[in-house]
Amino acid sequence: MPVEQAASAASGESAPRPTQRTLARELVLAYLIVAVLVGALLSLVSMWTVNRLETHLQQIDMGMALDRVRGEFLAGKDVGRGSRFFHGEPGSETFPEWLRQVEPGFTRIEHNDRDWHVIADDRDGVRYVLLRDYTAFEQRRVRSHWLTVLCVGASLFVAFLLGGAVTRRVVRPLVGLAEQVIKRPALPPQTRIAHAYPGNEIGRLAAAFDATYNQLEMALQREKLFTADVSHELRTPLTVISSSCELLLDDPELTPMQQQKLQRVHSASIDIHQQLAAYLMLARDSSDASGFTRSTVADAVEQEVTHWTSRADRLGLRLIADYDKAADPTGSPTFPAALVRIALSNLIRNALQHASSGTQIVVHASAAAFEVTDDGPGIAADIAPQVFAPFVRGGAAQIDNLGLGLSLVQRICDHQGWHITLDSQPGNGARFHIDLAPASNA
């Protein structure tokens, strides 16, 4: 859980739900953006091209008209264009004031709410200017531009509708596949969903999902059957061992040493029976732990430390049990003994496997928590983030270490709602702490 969501949950505020972004919506949005950009670019290019072409044609047409009118004027003919044709010295009063600054060439001028096209030409020190009123033409051109914009907008709208329909048609199989993938765990084993899709990319994706999911399903089923078979087959000899021990313990001819050894065998058979039940519970993902014998943390710590002390002595290590004096032994909560002892046993075994001679291992117990601390070499920085993952082993791990102990501890904690933390620095030992309080509050 991210820190922001955890803070919101702690303060009683509900975290904001992320905005739903579907593939269809993103495709339609991308299609619309591309269509708008392309449509706008084509419209601008077409209007610029038309304007340039019109200007060029008008310049040619008015240039030819000016040459014709000037020829008629120089021939002494009446050109009849008193308000449209002017000639004289450039900038002189012969020209209207708004035409005196016109340079030679073609120009568009707006004057008295009219649009004029002007062409001027200097020849032999005389400037000739010809005017044409293009107000109606410019108005038609503006209307034509707006009509173009409206047509482009209508085309975009139609393209948007068609794109949305095509997108929904293309995405609908993906949406159906996603829904079926979500519902797949509730369907019978080896169900195939690819037959409902055509043989295109979506169909191949569905077929690949079928193959992968069904293989995982078969592997999980084999694991569950193996766990159940092992548990079932071992329970019978364990029951025989346990019942035989109970009968032998009633024999008055046994010496105290024999009774002690026999009691250890009996206790070990009961522990193995409880551990098998715990492994079967984890394999079945069952939340019912009511069938386990319950004990306090202090009792579990005492039993495990007693069990592992002899091995620690053989390895030249010191294994010490430390109990919280403030805890009330009579009022301490109880927990599933098998689960607590499995977690504690794997943490002690992990410390013994990686500790060097002379290392001190301390198992501290409180009312609802325990921790295993050692002053050994610690855990390497590159291994610490994955230390609870299956098959992760330290660099100095022994040959019998498969890298499953800490993974099993993490699975038990997740199953029971316990919280495990690791504090380790290379060269400064390691500290594993398990808080059982969440389970006790449940």
Query: Could you tell me if 250 and 317 are in contact, meaning their C-beta atoms sit under 8 angstroms apart?
Result: no
Domain ranges of the chain: 24-152, 201-284, 294-441
> What's the rounded Cα separation, in Å, for the pair 281 and 284?
5
* CA-wise closest residue to 407 among 425, 428, 395, 393: 393
Residue 198: its pLDDT value, please? 78
Burial of 35 (0-12, 13-18, 19+ CB in 10 A): middle
- pLDDT tens, position by position, 192-235: 888 887 778 888 888 888 888 888 888 877 777 777 777 767 77
Q: CATH assignment of 201-284? A: 1.10.287.130
CA angle 363, 409, 323 (to 5 degrees): 20
Structure tokens given for 244: 């035989």
Which residues in the chain land under pLDDT 50? Answer: 1-19, 399, 439-442
* Cβ neighbours around 398 below 10 Å, total: 10
Query: Could you tell me if 277 and 292 are in contact, meaning their C-beta atoms sit under 8 angstroms apart?
Result: yes
* CA-wise closest residue to 23 among 177, 198, 167: 167
Residue 17: its pLDDT value, please? 46
> What's the rounded Cα separation, in Å, for the pair 371 and 110?
91
Residue 363: its pLDDT value, please? 94
Query: Could you tell me if 282 and 415 are in contact, meaning their C-beta atoms sit under 8 angstroms apart?
Result: yes
CA angle 30, 31, 37 (to 5 degrees): 90
Plot region of 358 (φ>0 → left; ψ -120 to 50 → alpha; else → beta): left
Residue 319: its pLDDT value, please? 92
Asked if domains 24-152 and 201-284 share a fold, the reply is no
- Range 294-441 has CATH code 3.30.565.10: yes
Query: Could you tell me if 291 and 330 are in contact, meaning their C-beta atoms sit under 8 angstroms apart?
Result: no
> Residue type at 194?
A
Q: CATH assignment of 24-152? A: 3.30.450
Residue 438: its pLDDT value, please? 61
